[in-house]
Structures are given as C-alpha cells and as structure tokens.
A and B are shown apart, each in its own frame.
Chain A
C-alpha cells in the first residue's frame, strides 16, 4: 500500500488534470444555458495542474513499480526533470490555446458545445502527460491512443466546413494504421524479450543477443507510431490536410503540444531502451542492435527537405504552416541524431522557441481569419499597413521561424548547429542550413504580401481587441528578447536533461 500511495503522489499532476476534467464535464452539465464560464474553469484547471508540475521539478522517481524485486524495480511511470520540462511545454501551450479559443470566431460559433471542446482538450493533455512519462509499452500505447482519440474528434469539431470532417476522417484513418503498426511492433518486441518495460528491455539487450532483423523490424514499426505523432517523413502525409481542415486552435495545439509529447516519447524510448551508458562528455553509447543514427539522420533530412520544398507552393497559410511544422520536426530531430546531452539541450531549447514562434504565427493567422474568414495568402495583401501590430508581429514570428538573428529562432538553430558541429556531422549541418535558406523563400513570401503589395479597397481592415493585441505581445516579446539574451532558457534546458536511467 505504501508503494501505491507513493505512486499516486508521483502522478499528482495527472490526478489533478483528471479531476479538472471531471469538474469541466460536470459544470458543462450544470451550465447548460450559458457556457461563458467554461473557458475560465479550463484555464484554472490548467493553472493548478501547472503548479503541481512545477512542484515536481528537480525530483526523480518511479511510480507503479511492477515488481518488488530490487533488481527489476522499474515502474510504468518515470518522473524526472526531462518529463517535467515537456509537461511544462504542454501546460504553456494549453494555456495559450485556451486564450486562442476564447477569441476564436470559429470556436465561438459552436459555443453550446464548449464543454465538450475543453473536455477533449483535457483528454489530449492527459494523454500527453502519460506519453511524456511512460516507460512501459502498455502505458505508452494507452496514452498514445488517449491523445489520438481526443484529437480525432477535435480536428473535426466545428463541422462548419466539409474540410473539417475530411480532416477528422483522414486523421483517424492514418492514426488507426500507424497505431496498429505500433502495436504489432510492441508485440514483436514482447515476443523477443518477454517484457514491455523499457528498462527491462534495455538490460536484456545489454546482455543477451536477439535476432537483429526481427528486432529492427519491430523497432521500425514502433517508430511508425511515434513518427506519426511528430509528423516526420514518411509518416507526415496526414499533416497538411488535417492542419488545414481542423479548427485553427486545434491545428496550433497539434503542431506544438502533440508534437512535444511525441518527441518526449521518442527521446525517452531511445534513451531508456537503447543507451547503455552516457560518457563523461555527455555522449550516449548506443546498444548496437539497431542503427538509430543512420535511420534518424535520413528521416530528419527527408522530413525537413520535404516539408520545406512542399511549403514553397502553398497559398493557404494554414497549409503552409503545416508544412513548415513538418520541416521543423526535421530540425528538432537533428537534436536527437547527435545522441548526446549537448544535442538534447539544443533540442529542448529549440522546442521552447518553436512553441513561441509557431503558436504566435498561428495566432496571427487566426486573428486575421476571425475578421476576413480566409487564410489565403492573397488576403494578406497590405496587412502590414492596415494592421501594423499584427503585421510586425507576424513578420517577427516568420523571421524567427526562418532562424535569422536577432530573433529567438536563430538561437534555437545556433544551438542545434553547435551540437551538430560538435559531433562532427558537418554534412548534415550543411544540408540543414541550405534547408533554412529554402524556407526563407516561403516565409518571406508572406512578408511580401503583407508589405510589398498594397491592399485592395475591398479587403476589410483587421482590427483586434485590446486583449488580442496583448496576447500577441505576450508571445512576440519573448521571441525578441530570447534572441538577444538567452542565458535563462539554456540554464533551464540544462537542468532538464536528466532522464531517469538505470
């Protein structure tokens, strides 16, 4: 019992989140006339969960240990600074999404179903939280499904347009296939090793020899499930359609939070299952059964190149940002492919920055869509003059996404390239840099429409409320400040690289 009590204490944030979900559903039933209170309840729930997450910082421990045997005393859930970092990413993006939803016309049109909407977001968050901490295939699969099922519904939530339902259906079909593949992979690994716990599998891999082909095949299948969540090539095909069709708040949420959970899972999976030890320089020694390095380098390059080149031709900004987020998944993978703590720091830093600039870009697109009901690039003509703050902010977000100084995006890229050069992976660094030159073209194209082309008389001016302007500023200021002074962010990332190991 003491063990169970301890375990429950370790998953307090998840418990609080579930309670908040219950409160949300209940209050949805009570407030069936007036739903205006729901966003506040949701925001409060996230804030309280956030407080519990912060409380866990600098703390490590296993919850739900499967056996009392001291040698195999690993749990299903690992609480460590790395997990807390990604939970905070999820919390931060969720809070922003609540604000986004509050001012989104699209969501406000379906105000009578607001309770469901937030309940599903909480469902996603719960799935993400468990994905971030799970160290057992069973829990990994369950949390992945919890996240997926909630997001399938949300991506078709508003039902305002046909493409809404198309998005949901596509998402569901792709998701079903990839989670099926993953499940098959898990069963193969279980068949080979006799365990679903990542730590147990790791210790078995270190001493026993397994059939390399079968094992690699199984790992690739598992990766299919994760790769689908982070939308890395070749599992990215759903991304543009779903991102374009889903309500923009959900698109933004998927592009950041869902991706964060996927990356956290991927890193934890690789680190706990395949790394035998970490040397003094922070490099990870991989167990030789599966060549992660080659596979991930190839996937990373493929992902960013496909993402960037496809984005070149997009006229719909949501779709363009979808491809851009695919490309960014490629950059983020670069932080993993060096297999060192240095790379991990770079990746964590990049993720915080990615959260800010990507959500910022989606926010601007949403505010514009609120007024003119379109995301086509031609409708952005002259936006820089009719709505100076939105224009300048959007420009800053896009420049940051390109990775030019003095914005935060440059610091993110700099750290990634520092990690790559340190690992002597020059060719990969050159390819990634050339990719960022390509990306300039489509990001700058938006700037061209906003500033170089004048608005026609018929375009309505986009005037935002004070609250929305404040929200934009809250995101744009850190993007600028972190570009010039980034010490606190790096310190934070440095303290967050501890992944509970053997």
Chain B
C-alpha cells in the first residue's frame, strides 16, 4: 500500500509532462489519471488509516485515512468531469497538462501532514491555477490571475514564518507540533491557510477569481482547489483539540458571511462563488464529518458552475425573461435541491450529518445559513423553462460531465443512509419551505446592491493585516 501511495502521488506529474510531449494522447492520459485516482480513493476507504514517514522526523509525513479519501474522491471526480467537459472544446494540450498537474498537487495537499510539504503543494497549486485562469490570455484574465497569485503568495510568506516557529519549538514540521508551538505560530499559519481556503473576510478574493474564470476552471477552483486550504485546517482541528473551537467559530462566521452576500447577488456565477465561501463554513463548522460534506459540495458546485456556463445569460434578472432549455433546467434543479439539502440527494445526508455534529452554540447560526442557502437557490429553481428545438452549441461532453457529477450525488447517498428518519426528513423540508417563502416575500424584489469595496486588491492585502490582528487576539485570549 505504501508503494502504491507514492506511485499514485507522483503519477499525475509524470502524466502531465508526458501528455505534453505526446499531444494526441493528452486527453486520454489525463482521463486515465483521474480514473486511477478514483480507484485509489475507493480502495482507500476499505483500508485502515496509513501513516507514512519518509526520511527522519523532519521529513515528509503523509496520512491516508477516510477523511482524506473523501477529498481525493472529490478531486478525482471533479477533474474527470472537467476533462470530459473540455473534451471537444479545442483546448490545447497545455490546458490538459495544467489541469492534471493541478489535480496532482491538490492530491498532495490532501495527504500531507507536515507544514513544508503542504507549503510546496499549495504553491504548486497557485502556479497551476494561475496558468489555468490566465489561459484565455486576455487582459482581464491575466489581471484576475495575477491578483490571485499575489494574494496567495503573500499569505504563504506569513505561513512560512509560522512554519519555522513550529520547527523551532519541536525540531519537526509535523501538524501535531502545533500543540507545543508558540501562539504566534498558530496565528501566522492559520492566516495563510484561511486565505488560501477562502474563509471569512480573508476569502473575499474568491468571488471575483471564481466568477471571472472560464467555466471549467471555475468548476475546478470552486470544487476542489479551495479545499486544499480547508483540509489542513480540519486536520489541525482534529489532531490538536485546542484549535477546534477556533475553527468552529470561523466555520459559522464564513457560512453566514457567504450566504449574506449570496442572497443579494444578481449574477449567477458570483452567487455560486459566494456560496462556495459559505459551504466551506459548513465543512469547518463540524470538522469530524467535513469529508462527506466536502464531497457533496465539490460535486454539486462544479455541476452548478458547468451549468451556469451554458445558460443564456449571467444576469438573473435577464434569465427570468429568457426561458432555458428544459433538460438543462432539470439538471440545474437537481443540483440546487441537493445543495439546499433536499432528501434523496447526498446534500441531504451531508447536511443532516453536519447539523448533528454541531456544538449547541453553533446551531442557530448554521440553521440561518441553511435557510439562506434555500433562499439563494430558489432563484435558480423558479426560472422559466421550455423545450427548445435547436440546441446546437451544447456538446456531448457537457452532458457526460453533468451525468458523472449528478450520478455521484445520487450514489453518495449510501454513505449515510441512516439519515432517512422522519424527523431528519421534515427539518430540511421546513428549512426549504421557509427559504422559498422568504424568497417570494422579500428577496425576489430586493434590489439591494452590496458594495464591492472590500474586494479591491489593496483592501484584500489590508484585510490580511486585520485578520492577523484578529487571529493574534483569538489565540492569545
């Protein structure tokens, strides 16, 4: 198993370079790599947790347990869907190479449990994501990419200072060393991870980046890449009990902040991006069951981004007057129901499981966030639709990708089938009903436009210093 693990971690990088050298094979090789990852993740579910320590105590440490296999499975499924989506879109081998390298580095970030391997993985993610965002080579795409790279690189510099403080205290970079490390190490490392993961106000770089990228790239970014910053936080919370309350506070804060922006948003892709922020909060709010939630969210969010890419407009006001093709509408509704937590889809099981693992003080906040989710997705569910005769521009690849993702949503139900009890089923239905009621009474007509001031580049950097002060205050208190 250890040899298999090491081969599997290095494989994406080899496949990436080889597929660039052999352009005719690049799509098949990339798809083969994702299938290999899916099989590896499924194999991992049946194995006992595996800890690998390469070199000495300061070397690379890997941890493979069911939590990481959930994340690996998410990554593999989303990447496979994106490759299928781009199959006939005329993307160059460079695009597929970057996709598969991104896949590999996200995998590496999911399995490592020491700060330096994580640093390297996160930086490779930044570079690969930048190249994917800037793939169209337009001024706007380059600026959005540069902004992303800049913010994440500055965050990683703070993170590095924190990492060396952990080393100073333990002579090892392992996550568990956080317990003996001074509080400032905790604050600095968390600043880096919170920014990379798009959590709370330090995650406000995320909406613009995810909404202005191309459709398949946004699906990748929202579905898996941000989780590379979130899983280490979850891991730290599970390995070191002292940081658990801190993570839970950020979870609730993020869930509410993201939803607060999303209910007023009139642009489909921006709304989805704000929803990513809020759903990451759900993962952090209950760290011990975060894996399943991450799987559901990854599948549903990438499906939604892919669907949003084929809608006739990005503006929800215009969409209310232009009917969309019925099959697309059905896919959109299934995905929206799953994210709102409707029974029969895995979003239901994930929400029930998360709500059950909350601490008493979190319950109110998370329920408000769940109602907010129902409100914002009511905007999609109640769009007009009709059968249209000619649908020339939608390719088979789109349907293959959507079938994979939505099929995954149905199948993932079996992970937590115990959720189907009467009380559990009634509660989400009430939440959704409340959300729809609020949508029709208030939010359908609301024209409040929230300012984008905090999303400006200078403010993103400024907010970092505020977050650092907040974190220092939280860990010292």
Q: Do A and B come from one complex?
A: no
List residues of chain A with CB under 8 Å of any chain B CB.
none
Seen from chain B, the residues whose Cβ lies within 8 Å of a Cβ on chain A are none
